Amino acid sequence: MNIRLAEAKDIKQLIRMRWDFTIEYNENKKKTSFDDFEKECQSFLEIALNSGQWFIWVCEENEKVISHIYIELIHKVPRPGRKTYPFAYMTNVYTVPEFRNMGVGSKLLKTINKWIKENHYEFVIVWPNDESNNYYKKNGYIHCKEPMEYFPS
């Protein structure tokens, strides 16, 4: 098992995994065209991998990506008197079904937690679903108060 940052060679696998992840949890998306999605996701991933703002971590087994976690750095406005570090937004956390409950996701998350600490990122924010709460809790994450939201109408 190899844990590393994603590369351009991983884009096709990442597109397919994003598609599978979405279909697995949202039946209504089955009506969406894969071709349209593939073009949009390909463009996003090409930009993200070269942006320095997105870090896509993958776990691979025999050159097949079996798990991934996307991290976007959110830069804060500098403040006098203290060094300002970005915080991390974690999203698109997914392990293919045949590798679930084998510790793969936790190994990947532990690698990311170490990277977060080494780079002095201030904190990580993630919006887990009900099924993933225990995954995050056992890896050191805690619930915080819900942020406020605004939805323009």
The mean per-residue pLDDT over the stretch 17-23 comes to 90
List phi, psi (to 5°) of 62: 55, 45
Structural domain boundaries of the chain?
Answer: 2-137
The CATH class that applies to domain 2-137 reads alpha beta
Q: Which amino acid is at 121?
A: Y
Task: Write the pLDDT tens digit of every residue in 36-61.
Answer: 999 999 999 999 999 999 999 999 99
**Lowest-pLDDT choice from 93-97, 116-120, 134-138, 148-152:** 148-152
Longest dimension (CA), the chain: 53
Q: Name residues whose C-beta falls within 8 Å of residue 78's C-beta, 6 or more positions apart in sequence.
A: 84
Q: What angle do CA 28, 146, 115 make, to 5 degrees?
A: 85
User: What pLDDT was estimated at residue 131?
Assistant: 84
User: What pLDDT was estimated at residue 109?
Assistant: 96
pLDDT at 78 over 90: yes
